[in-house]
Amino acid sequence: MTTSPPCSGCVYIIGAGPGDPELITIKGFKALRKCSIVFYDATVAQYIIDHCRPDAERVRLEETLTDNPALMEEVNARIIAAAQAGHTVGLVQEGDPFIFGLGAETARAAARHQIPFYVIPGITSAIAAAAYAGIPLTYRGYSSTVAFATGHTDLNKKYTDVDWAKVATGVSTLVVFMGLDNLRMIVQKMIEHGRDPRTPTAIVCCGTTPQQHTIAATLGEIARRVEENELAIRMPAIIIIGDVVGLHEELRWFEKPPAEA
């Protein structure tokens, strides 16, 4: 087993996992306990932050990039300054910091300032929320390819640079992050570029937490179903499109535990 060496003047970029605090990795916990200053997203479970060193300074990041586009530069400047002052700095982000997270931006800032950094992967919500909903992203005879996409790439959540013409039929299973605001557009683009409107589709909200809720329908019907269940929709949420969603009712175990459990 390999571990990162103790360091001062370095940065740990730690993935906290998808929501269930017990899904953070052992390596993530070990790195967290080394840090003298910890910056963490407000969405990270308090249970995880409680495992910091007792003397660690804890900096909770309440704002989002939507609220404050300059936030990432400000946070990175504080992280770099703390590392240059000799601190062991942690940045804890929900999910995996390198999958639609901002960990790579912090890593690049550290690299530009020649500050050692270590990346501790986290379980991404795409994998964990799907598993908790009883949806295997790959399954023999159903899906042998998976792609992750973002539902928006601008701060106003109105634009995406995804090449839907290639994505629509290019992979068996598509998982879309941050896509609820653009759900109708995503559905339209997928069908317009050849995806069968009968394709099973699911929205998994608050994956791996006690508030998890799944809405399943066909691709052509999913937007209407979401609108009908608007009060049940909570963020964060992922969209899963593919035949594997058809296994949800048979394999669901978290929201509806088996009778013998």
Give me 96's structure tokens. 């995996």
Q: Is the pLDDT of residue 46 over 60?
A: yes
Beta bridge partners of 189: none
Domains of the chain: 10-120 (3.40.1010.10), 125-251 (3.30.950.10)
Of 74, 175, 172, nearest to 128 (Cα)? Answer: 175
Q: Is the pLDDT of residue 33 over 90?
A: yes
Q: Is the pLDDT of residue 149 over 50?
A: yes
Distance between CA 261 and CA 253 in Å, rounded? 9
Distance between CA 32 and CA 229 in Å, rounded? 39
Least trusted range by pLDDT, from 14-28, 42-56, 156-170: 156-170
Give the pLDDT score at 8: 75
Q: Which residue has the higher pLDDT, 89 or 153?
A: 89
Give the pLDDT score at 99: 94
Give the pLDDT score at 231: 66
pLDDT in tens, 167-199: 999 999 999 998 998 999 999 999 999 999 999
pLDDT in tens, 87-120: 999 999 999 999 988 899 999 999 999 999 999 9
Least trusted range by pLDDT, from 13-17, 95-99, 220-224, 225-229: 225-229
Q: How far is CA 249 from CA 133, 182, 245, in A?
A: 9, 26, 9
Give the pLDDT score at 259: 54
Can you tell me the mean pLDDT for 210-238? 90
Q: Model confidence at 229, in pLDDT bands (50, 70, 90)? A: confident
Write down the pTM of the prediction: 0.89
**What average pLDDT is seen over the chain?**
90
Report DSSP letters for 174-216, one per residue.
EEEES-GGGHHHHHHHHHHTT--TTSEEEEEESTTSTT-EEEE
Give the pLDDT score at 63: 72
* Amino acid present at 180: L
Percent of the chain with pLDDT over 70: 90
Which residue intervals of 85-182 are DSSP H helices?
A: 103-112, 125-132, 164-170
